[in-house]
Amino acid sequence: MTYAIVAHSRQSGELGIAVATALPAVGGVVPHVEAGVGAVAFQGQPDPRLVTQMLDRLRAGDAAETAMRMVLAQDPHRAARQVGMVDARGRPHGWTGSRCTRWAGHSIDGSFVLLGNTLAGPGVLRAMAHAMQSSAHLPLAEQLLMALSAGDAAGGDRRGRRSAALKVSGAARHAMLDLRADDDPDPVQQLRRAYVGAVRQPPARSPAGGRMAVFASRGVQVPQDASAPPLPGAL
C-alpha cells in the first residue's frame, strides 16, 4: 500500500521517516519516531501493538534487527507485514512478508532502509536510494523529502497518489517535525511546500478548512493555497 524510507543521520543524530501512498491519512498509521530510541515504518497490514513492542525492545537496548526479529517471531500474520526500522545508533533492518502485494521489497543501505509494496516496480526503491545517497550533505528532513520525490517520479504506488507524511526527531523529545498531506492529488509536492512553510515561517494558526497539518516544536498549520512559498532549489 505504500513506499517509505526510514533513516538515521550520523551527523546530527536525527531519526526520520518519509512515506507516501494511494490511501488517505498515511501519517497517522505508518510512521513512528521516538527521539533517542528509534524509528519504525510499519505497513502492509500495520498493527500498532507490534510497533509498541518493537519500540519497547529498542528502549531496553536491543538493536533494530533483534527487536524486529523477536517481535515478528510471535506474530502469526508476519507474512502480510512490511516493516522498516532504524535504532538510535543508526542500525537499520527491514522485513517484507511473502504475502505483501507485489511489487514488494525492501533494501538496506548504510543507516537507512527503503521499503514498499504495491509499487510500480523495484526502480522506485532504486531511485529513492540514489536520491538519498546524492543528498548526504543536506539536513535529514530534506534528504527524506528528496528520496520521497524520487520514488514518486519513478512511479511510486502503482494505484496512484493520495497522502504523504514526514516525521523527524532529534536528540530532544521536543525537536519533532511532523508534516502530513492527508488527502491531496499531489501529496508529495504538498509535503514539500509544508516543509518550506514550517522552516521559514513562525508558528501560526491557519484558516479553518486547511487540509495540510504541520506540527513542529510549537505546532504549525499550513493552508493549501497558491500563496505557499516557493521550494528551494535542493528540493
Put simply, whether the predicted model's pTM sits higher than 0.75 gets the answer yes
Closest CA to 165 of 152, 175, 179: 179
> Quick one: pLDDT at residue 231?
38
Q: What percent of the chain is modeled with pLDDT above 70?
A: 82
For 146, residues 6+ apart whose C-beta sits below 8 A from its C-beta are 131, 132, 135, 138, 234, 235
Edge-to-edge order in the sheet of strand 31-34: 31-34, 38-43, 82-87, 92-96
Question: Within the chain, how many helices (H) and strands (E) appear?
Answer: 5, 12
Kindly list the structural domains of the chain, giving each domain's residue range(s) and its CATH number in brackets, ordered by start: 2-168 (3.60.20.10)
Q: What is the pLDDT of residues 155-186, one digit of tens each?
A: 999 999 999 999 999 866 656 899 999 999 99
